[in-house]
Amino acid sequence: MVDRVRSRLAAAGGEITEAAVAAAVRAESGGVASDLDVLAALRVLRQEFVGAGPLDELLRDPRTTDVLVCGPTAVWVDRGSGLEATDVRFPDEAAVRRLAQRLAIAAGRRLDDASPYVDGWVADVGVRLHAVLPPVAADGTCLSLRVLRPAAHDLPALRSLGTVDATGEALLRAVLAARLAFLVSGGTGTGKTTILAAMLSTVHPRERIVCVEDAEELRPRHPHVVRLVARPANIEGAGGIVLRDLVRQALRMRPDRLVVGEVRGAEVCDLLAALNTGHDGGAGTVHANSAGEVPARMEALAATGGLPRDALHSQLAAAVQVVLHMRRLGSGVRVLDVVGVLTRTSEGVAVAEAWSRTRGWSSGREALGRLFADRGVRAPW
C-alpha cells in the first residue's frame, strides 16, 4: 500500500500534507482502512518525505555525533564512546538509496548513477552528508552523517567535563590575554571546535570576532560575533562560495580576531597573510595527528594555494605562535593533550612542546614564557 500511496501522491503533485496523505491512504485501501492503518501509513510516508527518515530518532539524541549506514541492515551510531550497532533497519536497498538522494537534493547536490557520490551540508537536518551509491559502494548505499551541533561550552564547563585541567585552563586564558595567534589541531571528533568556541567565549566583550566556517558550528557566548558560512555550488555547479573568498571578505569587516573554523585548503594562504598584517589573536582548527605534525600539514594545505614551502614556513613562523592539540581517549573523553610553541629552525618551523597532559612541563615552556612576557602577560606557572 505504501508504494501505491507514494505513486498517487507523486502523480497528484502539489504540497504533501498529512491530510493529502491520509486521503491517499483511504483511496488506495478502497475506503476500508482503519484509523490505525492510516496512522501507520502516515508514519512510514513521513519517514520517506521528511527529515532523515528512520535515522531521525538517532539524530535527535543529543549524544549522537555520527550515524553510519552500510546498506539496509547495518546502521551504526557514535554517541561519544565509539561506534555501536543499532536496531534501525530499512525495508530494502531502494529505501536507503531514496533517503540518500533526498538528503543530497536538500543539500543542493546531485546523486545518481552518473554522479554516484556526494558531500554536502543538510541544513534542515543539521548534518554533514556523505553518500556513495552502488556499484561504487559494493555492499549497498553508504551514508555517513556527521551531526553538527553548535559548540557552546565555556572553559569552566570544559574543566568540569575533564577536557582541560587547572593548568590547561590557565594556559588557555593566558594565550587569549596575550592575544597570541593559535591553531587547534587534532583528529576528527577530538573536540577542536568545542575548545575553540569555549576560548572565544572568554574574549573581552569589546572585541569583534569574525568567524569563517565551512559549516555552521561555532557559536561562542560572546556579544559581538559575525559568522560567515561557505556555500556549496548548486546542482548546476553555480553559486558556490568558498572559504578563501570569505576570509578575504572578513578582512574588510574590521575584525579584532579573525577565526577560521577549519583550515582545510588554499584559504590557509589568506589566513596567514591576514595574521601577518596586524590581525593578532586570530585562530583556526586543522586536522593533524600530533602537534609536531602541524607544520607539515600546513605545508600540504598551502601547496593547494600555490604557496611554496619556504614561504609557508616563513609566514607560519611570523603569524602563529601556539598550537593546542586535542585528543580523544579510549573512554570517549576529549582532552587538551599538548600545548606547543612554533619556533624557527634551520629547516623551517617546528613545534616545541611546552606542556603535556601526561608529561607536564617541557622544554618549550621557556619560549612560551617569553611570548607571554613580550605581551605583558604573567605566565601561569
Tens digits of residue pLDDT in 303-314: 988 999 999 999
Report which of residues 298 and 234 the model is more confident about: 298
Distances (CA, A) of 192 to 197, 218, 241, 296: 9, 11, 24, 19
- Judged by average pLDDT, the poorest of 233-237, 302-306, 338-342 is 233-237
Cβ-Cβ contacts under 8 Å for 194 (sequence gap 6 or more):
151, 153, 158, 163, 334
Question: Given a cut of 70, is residue 18 above it in pLDDT?
Answer: no
Bridge partners of 226?
210
Tens digits of residue pLDDT in 21-69: 677 777 776 666 666 766 766 666 666 666 788 898 899 898 898 999 9
Q: Which pLDDT score is estimated for 126?
A: 82
Tens digits of residue pLDDT in 168-184: 999 999 999 999 999 99
